[in-house]
Structure 1
Amino acid sequence: MNKIISYIKRNKIKSVVVTILLIAYYFCLPKQLFTDPTATVIESRDGELLGAIIAKDGQWRFPHNDSIPEKFKECLLLFEDEYFYKHPGFNPVSIYKALRDNISSGEVKRGGSTLTQQTIRLSRKGKSRTYTEKFKEIILATRLELRYSKDNILAYYTSNAPFGGNVVGLDAASWRYFNRNANDLSWAESATLAVLPNAPSLIYPGKNHERLLKKRNALLEKLLKNEVIDSLTYDLSILEELPQKPYPLPQIAPHLLQNVAKSNYGKRIKTTIKKQVQEQTNVIVKNHHHQLRQNEIHNIAVLVLDVNTRKVVSYVGNAPTDKTHQNAVDVITKPRSTGSILKPFLYAAMLDAGDLLPNTLVPDVPTQFGSYNPQNYSKEFDGAVTAKRALARSLNVPSVRLLQQFGLDRFYYYLKQLKLKDIKKNANHYGLSLILGGAESNLWDLCKSYAAMAGTVNHFNENSSQYYTNEFLEPTFFADAEVDFGNLNNEKTIFDAASIYLTFESMKEVNRPEGDENWQFFDSSKQIAWKTGTSFGFRDAWAIGVTKDYVVGVWVGNADGEGRPGLVGVQTAAPILFDVFDILPHSDWFSKPFDEMQEVAVCSKSGYRASPNCRDTEQKFIQLSGLKTKPCPYHILVHLDASEQYQVNSSCESLDNIKNVSWFVLPPLMEYYYKSKNPFYKPLPPYKSDCITKGSTTMQFIYPKQSGKFFLPKDFDGNTNELILKIAHSKPETTVFWYLDDNFIGSTKVIHELAILPEIGKHVITVVDELGNEAKRRIEISE
């Protein structure tokens, strides 16, 4: 050490010069060797190529890859640099031979460059090939050898070597010329690509193929002589043909590629996509698109999520349509009218709040809220229908009435918790139409919400009846993304597990429209909770299905918003949904969350908790919050004579002959429609004629449903059509008297309908029954 210090003191100038040279040598190599733009590449979860977007400079140059296939490596080293792993970056023997041959011939015959030097030359593109530049390459090559391992240097070369045309790097070349991953290349294909960087122009179709074939076969012969391949492999390899034209790169998930490129342009991204499922889904979408386009329906989107990992399994952003029909639009992320697809959220919210039980009868009668008059798809009414059946059949009127009962603001609060980002305006803006498609959402958010609900039930059963705090998280299509469900606690996140489970149980029912006989695609062997939706004007068709392991979401329509007859969820989106479920692994059904449920007696006819008057009951598991629902209001105790044909009381029958019987009675308007669909419904018997009756008797207008303006059209003969008045009476046999503006116009019994022809202007219709009950409607007849 002292000798070194002493030497430096005696030779200060030399020491400074050496120090400067060492510093210059240390910093002569740029930190980033290659700065060229690269293509955006996405791969499946298993590393298979799904698609790529060309680099900004128009080159097919994939991002740097540290992995080099063994076959290509053997071919490259044998062809370009046999002593690669032995030299320090340059090969003095090769340089000497190159100088000798070049000087003797008077022109450049050989380069004598090692692969390390060629890597430096590639990074210094555009430099002239002079002896000065060659010297610089040697210096930089030795520095490169000190910074990186041999394998890293080889990877740099392989990723940036020219392979003809606008193809750069082995990964891009293997796909462009052989339509496969570099790891799957044969010996002949590897040899072809190994010789190309030395003369990339040889690859052009129809040009120089004889020279390229000669180079390739010479390399294959060299591989044989070096015992890298055997004679059989050699004989088969030389028979392989050269590529005739470049292949287009795979575009298996083009819309996902667009999505990834927004934030990761120029990167190689491993996604969560299962390639086989993605390809099969593409085929399903293509086949259905061929059928649907006959009806001028051109766009389809499908999203498949893994419930347990919350990762995307398949992502089809659009059908394989054309540019005219917006084939580049990623419909998965675009807001569309929801139709009925939000109904399960309302159902779950009402169960969660304890406002409903699955089998509770809810009204399905003509309904009007101001100017809003919801209608069922069938234009018919059931009078009363169980809540779960109303959901399964996607009945509009019961859904609107339930929303009005539950409260628009309360439901809107639940939707905001679900983070449906396209529902941006306040609750009053949407009104009660919110439940029928008055709002917009997108396939991503809807699938995310259904997956979170499924995950809630799964995790509750797997974690000692506890909930994750971050259950309703964003799904991901990035393979390296960490999915954090949060911490476990005893508090539900949005819906409790029992309410979700009961919602899914209801969604298992087939919601086929009435009269639809061609439901051949429904596979009853698979237990799937699913829901369809159709927006106003037949613009959007939805279908979303849930199992314990997967969520599949489908949207069908036209990206430009054009509606088409027959564009209905159950007819267009549902068949795609079940075709996709057919390619997914079988899932068991959800386990029942017993800790959030209790078995109680439920009235068989009304679906309410059984009251003392309910004769027919059954034991049902309900959500704990359902314990606060009221007992059955539709079963009353009536007094009948011995024949049970008449109602009686002490005024007309002795107490010994009176039978006390539980009777199922619906309100008049519900009863009017219910008994037409339920032939076994028995209205209350009439009172015996000699009985003195007291108590409530009710009647309700069927038409007009509420006060308002009416126009009376004319028939073909020019005669004005009559206005048909109609009421429902709890005791149809009662005589009802009709008045128009206090003028008696007639009476009815049993069937309470009356046709009138009022003059233009305002009128008051009054009905009075023989017991003194009264109802009114104010109408205005317009021209």
Structure 2
Amino acid sequence: MNDAASNASHEQRGIGAFLRRCRHAVTRRKLAMVSAVFGAFSLCATAAIVFTVSRMPPPDLAAAEKLSTVVLDRNGQLLRAFTTSDGRWRLPVEVADVDQRYLAMLMAFEDKRFYSHGGVDVRSVARASWQLITHGRIVSGASTLTMQVVRLLEGRYERSGNAKLRQVVGALRLEHKLTKTEVLALYLRLAPFGGNIEGVRAASLAYFGKEPQRLSIGQAALLVALPQSPEWRRPDRNPKAARIARNRVLQRAVEEGVINQAEADRAILEPVPTHRRAFPQLAPHIAESEVRADPIAAEHRLTIDRNIQRALETLAREQTALLGQKLSAAILAIDHTSGEIVAHVGSAGYLDGTRAGAIDMVTAVRSPGSTLKPFIYGLAFEAGLAHPETLIEDRPVRFGSYAPKNFDEDFHGTVTIRHALSQSLNIPAVKVLAAVGPGKLAGRFRKVGAETVFPDATQPTLAMALGGVGLTLRDVATLYTGLARGGDVIQLTHRRADAEAAAKALLHGKQRKHETLLSPVATWYVSDILKDAPPPLNARAGRFAYKTGTSYGYRDAWAVGYDGKYTIAVWVGRPDAASTPGLTGRLAAAPILFDAFARIGEKRVPLAGAPAGALRVSGSELPPPLKRFREGGAETVQGPFLEPRVVISYPPDRSEVETESEDALLLKASGGVLPLTWLVNGAPIESDPRTREVIWQPDGDGFVRLSVVDAKGRVDRVTVRLKSPEMAAVFLPDHGE
């Protein structure tokens, strides 16, 4: 019985095993048949689709053409970018602009047969379909990069059979029209990376602060991972999800042999960015000006050098922070051998509202102070009226009702013109301008393109010698390029196309049009004096020629210099033209000028040597007509020469002084004999008889008449306006350097 039962049990188990093998065999055959049928169907369907779509129009590429407007420097580097009309950061980018490791990881993770399929990867479709049948759910996708590009061009993100069919058809049609490189470039330009960031270049700048040409392995992996779920994986909002996705890409890259495990381990340790960076905003004033001038152009190429621009913007920001609140600065750097502007710093900080940073002070009309004195003497040298060693009197003088004064309120007696210009004495400069004529000076400026602006549309006067005229920083820089170039002024340009056209014309023997500012001999005399001008503290003299200037009322501080290659002009002041006590070109602008030359490069190109006809002699060897300057139209002021009259040195006459509530005002005088008596609107105020200064508390805004009387009864009076902060612009002669 037991043996029979045992045999029956073995027999049943054998039959069961046989039946199971039969069922498995049948199942395998069915599945094989299904797979074969499905594969044949897929091939037939693909062939049918290829035939059908060959007659259909390709996807609309209009979305890919809506790019951010970009402003580039002379080497094609990004200075400034602007969002598209719909507020997207979508920067132009080509395949060659992207790190090759990023591209390799992108292919390994998204579409490893990208270069072998025709837009639709049939093998991936078959695999995805088989997995769907066997698992009852989607295990892997079959979307190619080309299909993703079609979806991005459509701008629709629904997941449906119709949407997938449109992508298949569009991908086949797109690859029929474009090359693989062009299709890949579309993906690099359109892929979403969270928020309003589209394209790998915009993403690299936003998350890493750099162009995508050189990415670390971790950075490249993160950029591969983000487009799959851009909002959920945004590193600035969900760094944990971004890190997990990045690490998954790194592991796939190891599996596909793109990187090794050691590289992946190091990349995993890289931090994920947790905030978005600001897009480059270099040369913002001139960039916006170019976009306004040609809003249709997608790309603007400038002559600006990105590295120099960044260095000088940093310099302006740092130095004005040390000088005081509400002050701004502007710097213009020019390669005067070609006329190309290599740096245009319009303010101390474009986004700094406390310094009115949005105002471009390079193009603002201001009083140039004493920066025009070199051209006055240059005209005298050119006309044969003077030589650097000619003697001239620095004594009290009056031209009708106009009595110029020196910045130090002193007189220096008989000096050479070389000394008068290097020390920026005012009285000799006015005397020389009276001889050459202010109209001639203004006419020479207009001839070379520097437009002068006079108060109330008046005619040029002797006040031009001390800044009684309006000019922009660009105008002043243009004039100084004439000194740097031996007398010829070249037209300045900030557009790369203009510079390239000029260079091309020069190769074909066509010279650029130059305007003559001064003769070569006169220009060399001026430069020979300016190169020995006293430098700021802790600065080296003689490396380049330069001149400073201070406008009336301490509103504008200037410094302009040049060597054999570069001309740099610096302005410091308040954009609202308010007075800043103690603001002078030598103390505020000259240090910036010297630092600017150092940041451009330590090596200086020497100035040109003496031209033919230049007299390099001492004063005693000069021809008799040049030994002493012949003055005309001047009336010598009588009085003791060694005892200057009392003068109110601050605030200046006709100035506007900004006052805050409860702030006292410092009144200063120079000259005269102590004790001094101060009066405000005719009423005396308390003062220390031992000093020439007094602290006075104003009681409100409005016009105030200040008077000071010395021990000998000599009086000086000024009228000033006390006001709350507001914009103003006045072009008056300075007392200054």
TM-score by length of 1: 0.68
Residue 473 of structure 1 corresponds to: 491
User: How many Å separate the matches in 1 of 2:433 and 2:457?
Assistant: 12
Does the 8 Å CA contact 1:508/1:529 hold for their aligned counterparts? Answer: yes
Distance 1:135 1:550, change over 3 A: same
User: How many Å separate the matches in 2 of 1:371 and 1:47?
Assistant: 57
- Residue correspondence of structure 1 range 352-431 to structure 2 within 5 A: 352-421=382-451, 423=453, 428-431=458-461
User: Is 1:551 aligned to 2:584, yes or no?
Assistant: no
Residue 309 of structure 1 corresponds to: 338
User: How many Å separate the matches in 2 of 1:357 and 1:427?
Assistant: 34
Does the 8 Å CA contact 2:226/2:234 hold for their aligned counterparts? Answer: no
1:104 Cα deviation from its structure 2 partner: 7.5
Listed one character per residue, the Cα deviations across residues 163-188 of structure 1 (whole Å, up to 9, x for unaligned) are: 01121111111121122221221111
Residue 584 of structure 2 corresponds to: 568
Moved more, 71-80 or 373-382: 373-382
AA at the equivalent of 2:611: F
AA at the equivalent of 1:300: A
User: How many Å separate the matches in 2 of 1:333 and 1:216?
Assistant: 48
User: Is 1:496 aligned to 2:519, yes or no?
Assistant: yes
Distance 1:451 1:21, change over 3 A: farther
1:274 Cα deviation from its structure 2 partner: 3.8
Does the 8 Å CA contact 2:109/2:253 hold for their aligned counterparts? Answer: no
Listed one character per residue, the Cα deviations across residues 95-137 of structure 1 (whole Å, up to 9, x for unaligned) are: 3444555677888775522212211221111364443443343
Does the 8 Å CA contact 1:383/1:672 hold for their aligned counterparts? Answer: no
- Residue correspondence of structure 1 range 285-684 to structure 2 within 5 A: 285-293=316-324, 296-320=325-349, 322-421=352-451, 423=453, 428-456=458-486, 471-476=489-494, 478=496, 481-482=499-500, 484=502, 487=510, 493-510=516-533, 519-524=536-541, 526-583=542-599, 584-595=601-612, 597-599=613-615, 603-604=619-620, 609-611=622-624, 630=625, 632=627
Secondary structure of 1:246's counterpart equals coil
1:260 Cα deviation from its structure 2 partner: 3.9
Flag the structure with more relative contact order, 1 or 2, with Cα contacts below 8 A and sequence separation at least 6.
2
Distance 1:71 1:314, change over 3 A: same
Moved more, 490-499 or 357-366: 490-499
Moved more, 209-218 or 331-340: 209-218
Does the 8 Å CA contact 2:390/2:626 hold for their aligned counterparts? Answer: no
1:195 Cα deviation from its structure 2 partner: 1.6
Distance 1:426 1:23, change over 3 A: farther
1:213 Cα deviation from its structure 2 partner: 3.1
Moved more, 404-413 or 47-56: 47-56
User: How many Å separate the matches in 2 of 1:31 and 1:540?
Assistant: 53
Does the 8 Å CA contact 2:359/2:575 hold for their aligned counterparts? Answer: yes
Secondary structure of 2:213's counterpart equals helix
Does the 8 Å CA contact 2:390/2:629 hold for their aligned counterparts? Answer: no
User: How many Å separate the matches in 1 of 2:513 and 2:121?
Assistant: 71
Does the 8 Å CA contact 1:62/1:268 hold for their aligned counterparts? Answer: no
User: How many Å separate the matches in 2 of 1:127 and 1:221?
Assistant: 28
Superposed CA RMSD in Å reads 3.7
User: Is 1:234 aligned to 2:289, yes or no?
Assistant: no
1:555 Cα deviation from its structure 2 partner: 0.6
1:271 Cα deviation from its structure 2 partner: 4.1
Listed one character per residue, the Cα deviations across residues 603-639 of structure 1 (whole Å, up to 9, x for unaligned) are: 42xx8x324xxxxxxxxxxxxxxxxxx354699xxxx
User: Is 1:59 aligned to 2:75, yes or no?
Assistant: no
User: How many Å separate the matches in 2 of 1:274 and 1:489?
Assistant: 22
Secondary structure of 1:441's counterpart equals coil
User: How many Å separate the matches in 2 of 1:346 and 1:195?
Assistant: 67
Residue 131 of structure 1 corresponds to: 161
AA at the equivalent of 1:411: L
Does the 8 Å CA contact 1:391/1:506 hold for their aligned counterparts? Answer: yes
TM-score by length of 2: 0.71
- Residue correspondence of structure 1 range 35-54 to structure 2 within 5 A: 35-38=65-68, 40-54=69-83
Moved more, 120-129 or 403-412: 120-129
1:539 Cα deviation from its structure 2 partner: 0.6
Moved more, 477-486 or 320-329: 477-486
1:673 Cα deviation from its structure 2 partner: 8.8
Aligned residues: 589
Residue 727 of structure 2 corresponds to: none
Identity of aligned residues (%): 30
Secondary structure of 1:440's counterpart equals coil
AA at the equivalent of 1:200: P
User: How many Å separate the matches in 2 of 1:45 and 1:668?
Assistant: 55
Listed one character per residue, the Cα deviations across residues 401-456 of structure 1 (whole Å, up to 9, x for unaligned) are: 21221122211110101212353789853422122222111112222332243234
Listed one character per residue, the Cα deviations across residues 266-299 of structure 1 (whole Å, up to 9, x for unaligned) are: 7454544444433433343233222211xx4521
1:253 Cα deviation from its structure 2 partner: 3.7
User: Is 1:282 aligned to 2:313, yes or no?
Assistant: yes
User: How many Å separate the matches in 2 of 1:441 and 1:237?
Assistant: 56
User: How many Å separate the matches in 1 of 2:611 and 2:387?
Assistant: 16
Moved more, 411-420 or 478-487: 478-487
User: How many Å separate the matches in 2 of 1:184 and 1:489?
Assistant: 40
User: How many Å separate the matches in 2 of 1:489 and 1:201?
Assistant: 55
Does the 8 Å CA contact 1:297/1:564 hold for their aligned counterparts? Answer: no
User: Is 1:261 aligned to 2:291, yes or no?
Assistant: yes
Does the 8 Å CA contact 1:409/1:427 hold for their aligned counterparts? Answer: no
Does the 8 Å CA contact 2:235/2:242 hold for their aligned counterparts? Answer: no
1:236 Cα deviation from its structure 2 partner: 0.8
Distance 1:328 1:30, change over 3 A: same
User: How many Å separate the matches in 2 of 1:349 and 1:84?
Assistant: 72
